[in-house]
Amino acid sequence: MLIDSHAHIQGKEYAGEAEAVISRARAAGVEAIIAVGGAGDMSSNTEAVRLANSFVNVYATVGMHPHDAKDVGAGELAVLEQLAEDPKVVAIGETGLDYYYSHSPHDVQRRVFGQFIQMARQTELPIVVHERDAAQEAVELLRGAGGGELRGVIHCFTGNYQAASAYLDLGFYLSFTGIITFKNAEPLREVVRKVPLEKIFVETDSPYLTPVPHRGKRNEPAYVRFVAETIATIKGVELAEVARLTTNNVCDLFKI
C-alpha cells in the first residue's frame, strides 16, 4: 500500500470528482492521501480540511505557497492557526521559497516562510516545504528559525545531491514526483539513487507533474504508483519494499 504524500485534489480541477478520484486511488493501492493547502488562495486550505473531514483516508495540511506570500498577513495567519487545530490537519504547508518564478518578492517570501516555521513550532506540527532555486537560504531558515527542533519534508525535490544532503542533515525527508519518470531527469534519478529509502516520500503533486505513461494528462493520486515503481527500478528493489518504507516514513512524520 502507498500514500500520496502531496496532492491538491481539493482544487477546481477535481470539482465534483473527489470521491471518484479517491476511489481510483484506493483501487490502485493508495491507502491515504495528503490534501495539501496553500496553492492559489486561502480557499485551498479550507477545502483541504473539509475534504479531510469527509473521507477517512484523506488528511490535510494548511499554509500558503511562496508564490502567494505577498498576500499573507496577520489575518491569514490567524485563520491558518485556527485551521491547524483540526485533528485531520497533519502539517503546516506548503510554504517555502521559490526564486525560479519569484511571484512574490524574495524578502517577503523569507519573512512569511519564517512565520510558518514559527507556526509549525508552536503547533508542534511538521512542515511541508516548497523550495526551488533557493536551497541555501531555505536550509539557513530551517536551521535558524527552526531551532533544530523542526521536522518536515521537502516536497517535489528537484535539487542536486549537495542540497539533498543539507536537508537530510536537518533530519528532513525528501519527496519525489512524476518528474523522476521523465526522459531528461537522469540527474534527479541519480539523487534518488543516493538518498536512503528511509528518507523518501512519494507524491503526485496532483494535478501537476503527471508521470509517464500518463504525461500530458491531469495527474491524480492513483498515479503515485508509477513514481514508486521508478524508485524501485532505480534502487534495484521490489515495489513492495518501496511502498512499505515510504508509507512508514509518511506515517512517522505526519503521525497517521
Q: Residue 219 phi/psi, 5° resolution?
A: -80, 160
Domain 2-254 top-level CATH class: alpha beta
Select from 100, 96, 120 the least CA-distant residue to 108: 96
For residues 211 and 227, is the Cβ–Cβ distance under 8 A? yes
| pLDDT of amino acid 118 | 97
User: What was the pLDDT predicted at 212?
Assistant: 98
pLDDT for the residue numbered 128: 98
**pLDDT in tens for each of the 256 residues of the chain?**
999 999 999 999 999 999 999 999 999 999 999 999 998 789 999 999 999 999 999 999 999 999 999 999 999 999 999 999 999 999 999 999 999 998 999 999 999 999 999 999 999 999 999 999 999 999 999 999 888 789 999 999 999 999 999 999 999 999 999 999 999 999 999 999 999 999 999 999 999 999 999 999 999 999 999 999 999 999 999 999 999 999 999 999 999 9
pLDDT at 17: 97
Quick one: CA torsion of 32, 33, 34, 38, rounded to 10 degrees?
Answer: -170
> What's the pLDDT at 41?
84
Q: Where are the domains of the chain?
A: 2-254
What is the structure's pLDDT at 26?
98
The closest of 45, 6, 3, 15 to 153, measured between CA atoms, is 6
**For helices 224-235 and 186-194, what crossing angle results, to 10°?**
70
